[in-house]
Structure 1
Amino acid sequence: MPHSTTGRGRPRLESTDHRILQAARELLRLKGPAAVNIDSVAARSGVARTTIYRRYRSRNELMDAILEHLIDPAPLAPELPVREKLRWVLDRISDILENRLGPGATAAVIANSDPEFTTAVRARLAARLSSLTDLMKLDIKTGRLHANLDPDTVLGILVGAYLAEVLRFGSPRDGWTDRALDLVTPAVTPPRRRRS
């Protein structure tokens, strides 16, 4: 059975580490940061409180461990036409809000119900989204996007549109992404020059 050693005592089981972090992530995604504490993680994971405390001396250490892998840097999109690159950006937004943060953590960030958590998430989001704004800046330089475009504003519009769709309907409706791209793509791309 896989394990890692800490230098003293019995070796740590990776499966135990996984159960602890999985339970903490589920609580965070579903109920927000206020639901994540050593007692709730112990109850959900089936791992004894003492075992969790051996790995994480406090709730803050546990939260840091969750956030470390919750929002990782986004890989750069492959070379795509603008419309497909915007689709790729919407997919990243969906992944962050639905799969990584989940409704509980997203609501906590929007409401700023846990300022320390909000600050930590925003810092990680800024790092992840910076690769997306860098892509847009490159497309501005090459003329694929309007010269006066502000990448952060475009990302804000995409995040806002996605959140509005989820708030109204629970999840994006069939064909929503294509309809959103039909509106956004012409607004961010310069008109094609006609050949003489």
Structure 2
Amino acid sequence: MPPTTNGRGRPRLESTDQRIFEAARELLRSKGPAAVNIDSVAAHSGVARTTIYRRYRGRDELMHAILEHLIDPAPLAPDLEVSEKLRWVMDQISDILENRLGPGATAAIIADSDPEFTAAVRSRLAIRLNALADLMSIDIKAGRLQAQTDPDTVLGILVGAYLAEVLRFGSPRKGWMERATALLAPAVVKN
């Protein structure tokens, strides 16, 4: 990757930026937000603390950068049948909780062990989950979902079911997402 510069001193190497980011992300995913600080990121990445401080003024700025990258707006839903779209929504939830936040951050949110972190994640998640709720609202208006369907309740059921499955078995069992969405679909899909 070509070096970047902030206008002063030596050019910044994207590989160094990537090492810092990956170390911070891995610490967050595996151990939660309490494990992410400049010292731990330096030790985990092999990048000097001074180098990290040149890029981030402190932990708060580093955490903000991580969250900006980890929780982006929801992608556009593919053109699918409603039952398949429910599975797609479940895949989005899985991606957020498993791949992006990871068990350490998810546990910290549930326990509210770092209220500032929890609030930051919730505000970013709200944007993504609201986009998914809006997709369901479109399906309600188009007559593909029952009129009494509450998108926020459906999302809550999907998130809650996913978390319960992970709590019970460590990760979703093979075919569980298909079974869960097949169970929910008849309750919301308009016949």
What's the TM-score, normalizing by structure 1? Answer: 0.96
Moved more, 177-186 or 86-95: 177-186
Alignment partners' CA distance in 1, 2:75 and 2:88: 11
Alignment partners' CA distance in 2, 1:149 and 1:175: 25
Alignment partners' CA distance in 1, 2:105 and 2:175: 26
Alignment partners' CA distance in 1, 2:182 and 2:56: 48
Q: Is 1:31–2:21 an aligned residue pair?
A: no
Q: Is 1:116–2:116 an aligned residue pair?
A: yes
Alignment partners' CA distance in 1, 2:9 and 2:178: 56
Rg (Cα) greater in structure: 1
Unpaired segments of 5 or more residues in structure 1?
A: none
Q: Report the counterpart of residue 160 of structure 2 in structure 1.
A: 160
Q: Report the counterpart of residue 186 of structure 1 in structure 2.
A: 186
Q: Report the counterpart of residue 174 of structure 2 in structure 1.
A: 174
Q: Deviations over 1:53-102 (max 9, x none)?
A: 11111111111111110100111111110110000000000000000000
Q: Report the counterpart of residue 134 of structure 2 in structure 1.
A: 134
Q: Report the counterpart of residue 148 of structure 2 in structure 1.
A: 148
Alignment partners' CA distance in 2, 1:182 and 1:124: 29
Partner amino acid, structure 2, of 1:118 = T
Alignment partners' CA distance in 2, 1:122 and 1:178: 27
Q: Deviations over 1:152-189 (max 9, x none)?
A: 00000000000000100011111111211221000111
Q: Is 1:82–2:82 an aligned residue pair?
A: yes
Identity %: 79
Partner amino acid, structure 1, of 2:69 = H
Alignment partners' CA distance in 2, 1:53 and 1:43: 14
Q: Report the counterpart of residue 9 of structure 1 in structure 2.
A: 9
Q: Is the 8 A contact 2:83 2:189 kept in 1?
A: no
Secondary structure at 2:144 match in 1: coil
Deviation of 1:148 after TM superposition, in Å, equals 1.1
Q: Deviations over 1:110-162 (max 9, x none)?
A: 01000000000000000111111111000000111110111000000000000
Partner amino acid, structure 1, of 2:140 = I
Deviation of 1:49 after TM superposition, in Å, equals 0.5
Q: Is 1:72–2:72 an aligned residue pair?
A: yes
